[in-house]
Structure 1
Amino acid sequence: MFEIIRDIGAITRQTEIETNAEFRRLGLANNAFIYVIRTYEKPGMFLGQLADSVQIDRTTAFRTVQKLVDSGYLRLEDDAKDKRLRRVYVAQKGADVYPELHAFEKHSSDRLVSQLTAEEQTQLTQLLSKLVY
């Protein structure tokens, strides 16, 4: 079973290498593209929720979000009810690149599972959902 986790890690690392190389020209390397995708798809998350959704420690996530705000991809707004909380939204620059980010993510995903039948893809989804902690 140990090998399965190693294989999952290898797939993840290879995907990150390819994606970071693709989006470096946009200033979205080091997995910064993930923050734009997640924020576009679920606008208004609290900073902590965004960190949890990309499964990165909050300090690293907060630094990355600040860089993306500074570069014009994301924007922060204080929560209307609790001023201690800040919500994350995609800025126009982020919205403009989202279709490219999403298309690359979809293409990469489709390529990874292209050798699996529809039934195998369903089984893989079910099995992986049991591994999430």
Structure 2
Amino acid sequence: MFDIIRDIGGITRRIQSTSNTEFRKFGLGNNAFLYVIRVYERPGMFLGELADSLQIDRTTAFRSVRKLVDSGYLELQDDAKDKRIRRVYVTAKGKEVYPKLHAFETACSERLTSRLTEAEKARLTKLLAKLVF
């Protein structure tokens, strides 16, 4: 069973390596592109929600968001009701690069699952959901 986890890790590392090379030219290496994608698709998340959606610790998420704010891809806004909460939004610069990020993500997904039937894809989705802890 351990080989399955190693295979999943290997797939993840290959995608990350390719994406980091691809998006370094935008200043989005080190998986920073994932933040832009998630925030674009769910604008207004607070930092904890973003960290949870990426399955990373909040300190790492905050540090990465700060860098993306400094580079102009994301912006933070205080919550209207609770000033302790900062919500994350994509800037115009982030919106401009999103189609390239999404196309890459889509192409990777299609390439990885191209030999699976629709039934196998559905089964894989269910099985992977059981692995998340």
The TM-score range, normalised by the shorter chain, is: over 0.9
Secondary structure, counterpart of 1:8 in structure 2? helix
Ranges in structure 1 where 5+ consecutive residues have no aligned partner: none
TM-score (norm 2): 0.98
SS of residue in 2 equivalent to 1:24: helix
**Cα separation, 2, equivalents of 1:23 and 1:115:** 27
SS at match of 2:120: helix
* Partner-residue secondary structure (3-state), 1:43: coil
- 1:47 and 2:53 matched: no
Q: Which residue does 2:71 correspond to in 1? A: 71
Deviation at 1:30, TM superposition (A): 0.3
Q: Between the two proteins, what is the percent identity of the paired residues? A: 69
- Distance in 1 of aligned mates of 2:66 and 2:87: 12
State the AA in 2 paired with 1:32.
A
- Provide TM-score, normalisation by structure 1: 0.98
Runs of 4+ residues over 2 Å off in structure 1: none
Q: How much has 1:29 moved relative to structure 2?
A: 0.5
Partner of 1:123: 123
Counting only pairs closer than 5 Å after superposition, residues 1-133 of structure 1 correspond to structure 2 as 1-133=1-133
Per-residue CA deviation, residues 87-114 of structure 1 (Å, 9 max, x unaligned), is: 0000000000001100100001100111
1:89 alignment partner, SS class: strand
Cα deviation, residue 115, structure 1? 1.3
**SS of corresponding position for 2:114:** coil
CA RMSD of aligned residues (A): 0.6
User: Runs of 5+ in structure 2 lacking a partner?
Assistant: none
Cα distance in 2, alignment partners of residues 15 and 103 from structure 1: 13
Aligned pairs, how many?
A: 133
